[in-house]
Structure 1
Amino acid sequence: MKFVNRIQELDFLERKYKEPDAQLIIIYGRRRTGKTETVLQFSKPKPSIYFLSTRSNEKDNIDNFYDALFEYFQDETLLRLEKNWENIFQYLSGIKERLVLVIDEFPYLLESNKAVTSIFQRGWDLYLNKTDIMLILLGSSVSLMESEVLSAKSPLYGRRTGQWRITPLEFTHNREFYPNYTQQEQLYTYSCLGGVPAYLLQFDPSKDFWNNVHDKMLSKGEFLFEETDFLLKEELREPKVYSSILKAISQSKTKFSEIMTQTGISKSSLSAYLETLERLDLVVREIPVTETVRSKKGRYFLKDNFFKFWYRYAFPNLRHLESGNSKYVLSKIKSDFNRYMGHSFEGISIEFLTGNLQRVPFEFTDIGRWWHKEQEIDIVALNEDTGKILFCECKWSELKRKDADRILIDLKEKSTAVKWHKHKRSEYFGLIAKKIENKADLREHGYIAFDLQDMFR
């Protein structure tokens, strides 16, 4: 399996490994993001035991855990012990080496015994916290890991020595999956699949983007064809309700009231559902970047690119896809895809600026979109302390110099409607596009100007 990036995550794990005391590390995040592979890359060269919990009963999991211990230690003492968690922890308390013990899919243990966090708390307090063991608990069920392992109500609260939420990769890592793709094709792929490694590995790098979309996303029976449905059922109790919310948002029903009307869900229930979707990183609530968090101007958008693509194009056409008419659906996608990329490119541009602070004139503390009534600005970045603000437009097109000048004139006019630090601010203006003619000249005139060449430099 191809392993890409995860430098920060590996550095974190190495740092904790080198600390002198016992470590209890929580690694979690949505499925397919590469949690297991990241931990295995870290633990491979070290004394380590890897145990994968299964959706079976507790006895089966304990039996399998004993097998993993015996395979590593080859100690016949284990064969004589009564098989329970207490004896496992007691046995491990006698280990004198720096051992990495990985328990994957920890939520499956919770499903078979709700008291397992209390059992592990006792095991940690009585036996493990004075050893050299580095215990890593992994979980794909974000909701369970947050509520049962990380929350203040969890018996394990206060015991963990570190935690890391594994998130999807950034767009610049696509080139490592598809080295022969053009920059444009790499952004197409990121806008379609996001940065989830398991999804990126589904596409065949020897085929072009559109053939991959047809063969791997729109063809019944393929892994990606059932993925959104699988994830919702795996993570949530009412997948159909959540799906109706995602569908509404994908149809541009972005205000709370619009989603409520479209889905027929009550106000109180909808708030809870949206909070859950936000926690899972499927939906994001955005407010104009100059507003406070309590602003009533909030809008909801699909955050995950894979879900965004699926609910915009595949979900409304499932009857055609189920009947094998995938080429018809593909033609519909192609006719609309530039519009879709226009929205996606805004998010990619924000990601680019956030990761390249040294290439903008000041370090910003906030970045996002801005809107008021009928006016919108694609990106506004600001620094509350210095009073500096950047206004930027994103265009998924190749711009002639005259087009760039016109856009910048319009941008300056729109910026006057932004009231933030109105008379005490330093203003900067910029443009990000697929390609910009005479980009260097714009920069000489004090403008920020980036295109794909800069993004993939």
Structure 2
Amino acid sequence: MSVFLDRHRELSALADRYRSGKAEFVVLYGRRRVGKSDLIDQFLQFGNGIHLLAREESKTLQLRKFSRDLGDYFEDPFLKRTGFSDWDSFFEYIVQRSGSRFVLAIDEFPYLVKEDPSLPSIIQDYWDTHLKETQVFLLLSGSSISMMESTTMDYRSPLFGRRTGQILLHPLRFIHVLDYLGDMRKAVEFYAVFGGTPAYIMTADPDKDIMANVEEKLLREDSFLFRDVEFVLRTELAEPRYYFSILYSIAEGNNRIGLICNDTGLSKSIVNKYLSVLIDLQLVHRRIPVTEGQKSRKGLYFLSDNLFNFWFSFANPCLESLERGNAGLIVDQYVKPRFAAYVGRLFEAIVADLFELFNQHGALPFVYTRLGSWWHRGEEIDIICLREDQPEILFCECKWQDGVDGHRVLEELRAKAPHVSWQNGRRKEHFCIVARTFSRRPMEDDRVSCYDLDDLTRVVADCRKGGFSA
């Protein structure tokens, strides 16, 4: 089944630029599988243009393929017979065709630069001398984030300052996966395993439960996803063994640099170096307490992609057994007993994403300006929302459990609140508890709120219908 999920904002941005009629040079980039090619195809349904997909092959073969594709698009049999001899002849042809609005989308641009490093300077020449005064819409796309940034946006690149816009395509948010699946509990479980990468979530079968999907779509050695984590890392990274060690260590709960060093045996300088690369690739992110500044030394490191998180938590430790065809056994003996705890670690980020929707529609006690988690000297609070102009603070605990005692959790939350040093004595305090289900709920008022999965579903529906107003 092929379904195009979300991307309304990105499509709208591209469509607005297309309607401008001016020459555009847009850079579209993001991790593999995140949906760049699908976005280009959807955009080309809006306007006239062609999607050229580069391949890892010689310059001669690349130009031959582009000649055939452009010959078909422009119905030019002569071009198909003769072809382009070099990049100059390619762009000369584009200049001749740029009298009317036309999108030239070149996908996997880094493959072309790898084969011919002079290509960015050639594009610079044609953009400066011809194309910027035409109606062409040049769209360069690529999956290597670092290479796309260095070849199109770095000040040392010939293309620096030429682009008219850029889109860094991120994985889908939880609310988009919820829109697709329709059921809150199923969406939480599927998102915790497959994350927001469209190619991953579309692999899942919504008609089967999560454990069947884990076994069939992820842990079976013949499944597409079984080797994809290794494939992505080996494609992007020169020394994957160190990166594997660091990612596995973080998945095991070692979130501080010191713990990662102790667990992997790598020096602090090496861990810092490799963490920086993983952050640039959007595979790892650093969190700091919401009340701290960016230079805080309290930063913790987490995996950004849930499928990578799941794979390093459950598949990587059992690879030998999985390769012997024991996916069902691993699910029963290893995944099922630990799955609720695994989802629980990700549930606060899912709730935080829902709060972003609630905040936009005025569904929370106040409109916050900052959201994050908090920890200090062994105390932790899952989510804190801050309003800074008229100091208000919301403390929230998230429990991926049934039968939660809301009274007890509220008492614990109130006991931790004074330890949070922010506008003490001036702030107005609110408290919130989110759980799968409750056994007891505290009295709710303008200071205390509780959400179970049914409540979350209802509020999301109200927000979608415009039932709240900020």
Q: TM-score, normalised by structure 2?
A: 0.92
In the comparison of the two structures, how many residue pairs are matched? Answer: 452
> Aligned letter for 2:383?
I
> Aligned letter for 1:160?
R
> Aligned letter for 1:390?
L
Matches of 2:38 and 2:16, distance apart in 1: 18
Pairwise CA distance, 1:137: 0.7
Are residue 379 (structure 1) and residue 392 (structure 2) matched? no
Check conservation: 2:64, 2:83, Cα contact below 8 A.
no
**Structure 2 match to 1:232:** 233
More moved, 358-367 vs 280-289:
358-367
Which of 103, 115, 119 in structure 2 is aligned with 1:116?
Answer: 119
Are residue 198 (structure 1) and residue 199 (structure 2) matched? yes
Matches of 1:386 and 1:437, distance apart in 2: 35
Matches of 1:395 and 1:207, distance apart in 2: 25
Which of 350, 360, 364 in structure 2 is aligned with 1:360?
Answer: 364
Check conservation: 1:364, 1:382, Cα contact below 8 A.
yes
Are residue 63 (structure 1) and residue 67 (structure 2) matched? no
RMSD: 1.8
Pairwise CA distance, 1:301: 1.1
Check conservation: 2:53, 2:107, Cα contact below 8 A.
yes
Check conservation: 1:289, 1:369, Cα contact below 8 A.
yes
**Structure 2 match to 1:258:** 259
Query: Once the two structures are aligned, what percentage of the paired residues are identical?
Result: 38
Go from structure 1 to structure 2 and tell me whether the alpha carbon gap of 1:364 and 1:204 turns closer, same or farther (over 3 Å shift): same
Are residue 337 (structure 1) and residue 339 (structure 2) matched? yes
**Structure 2 match to 1:17:** 18
Pairwise CA distance, 1:209: 1.7
Matches of 1:430 and 1:175, distance apart in 2: 22
Give CA deviations for 1:61-89 in whole Å, capped at 9, x if unaligned: 12222222211222356456752211222
SS at match of 2:454: helix
Check conservation: 2:384, 2:395, Cα contact below 8 A.
yes
Pairwise CA distance, 1:451: 2.6
**Structure 1 match to 2:44:** 43
> Aligned letter for 2:350?
I
> Aligned letter for 2:437?
K
Matches of 1:325 and 1:39, distance apart in 2: 40
More moved, 13-22 vs 204-213:
204-213
Gaps of 5+ in 2: 462-470
Check conservation: 1:92, 1:127, Cα contact below 8 A.
no
Matches of 1:406 and 1:434, distance apart in 2: 16
Check conservation: 1:204, 1:212, Cα contact below 8 A.
yes
Pairwise CA distance, 1:283: 0.9
SS at match of 1:25: strand
Pairwise CA distance, 1:113: 1.3
Go from structure 1 to structure 2 and tell me whether the alpha carbon gap of 1:224 and 1:81 turns closer, same or farther (over 3 Å shift): closer
Return structure 1 stretches of 4+ with deviation > 3 angstroms.
Answer: 75-82, 175-179, 436-439
Give CA deviations for 1:32-53 in whole Å, capped at 9, x if unaligned: 1111111111112422111100
More moved, 17-26 vs 359-368:
359-368
Matches of 1:160 and 1:136, distance apart in 2: 9
Check conservation: 2:289, 2:298, Cα contact below 8 A.
yes
Go from structure 1 to structure 2 and tell me whether the alpha carbon gap of 1:393 and 1:120 turns closer, same or farther (over 3 Å shift): same
> Aligned letter for 2:397?
E
Pairwise CA distance, 1:20: 2.8
**Structure 2 match to 1:171:** 174
Give CA deviations for 1:376-429 in whole Å, capped at 9, x if unaligned: 1111111333322111111112346xx212211111110101111212222211
More moved, 267-276 vs 188-197:
267-276
Are residue 144 (structure 1) and residue 130 (structure 2) matched? no
Give CA deviations for 1:320-374 in whole Å, capped at 9, x if unaligned: 1111122221021100111111111111011111222021122222211101111
> Aligned letter for 2:313?
R
Pairwise CA distance, 1:175: 4.4
> Aligned letter for 1:339?
A
SS at match of 2:402: strand
SS at match of 2:401: strand
Superposition map of 1:274-313 within 5 A? 274-313=275-314
**Structure 2 match to 1:87:** 89
**Structure 1 match to 2:406:** 404
Go from structure 1 to structure 2 and tell me whether the alpha carbon gap of 1:131 and 1:185 turns closer, same or farther (over 3 Å shift): same
Pairwise CA distance, 1:264: 2.4
**Structure 1 match to 2:131:** 128
Pairwise CA distance, 1:297: 1.1
**Structure 1 match to 2:217:** 216
Matches of 1:23 and 1:287, distance apart in 2: 38
Matches of 1:97 and 1:28, distance apart in 2: 26
Give CA deviations for 1:258-294 in whole Å, capped at 9, x if unaligned: 1122222222222121011112221111111111111
Check conservation: 1:387, 1:424, Cα contact below 8 A.
yes
**Structure 2 match to 1:417:** 419
Matches of 1:451 and 1:153, distance apart in 2: 52
**Structure 2 match to 1:5:** 6
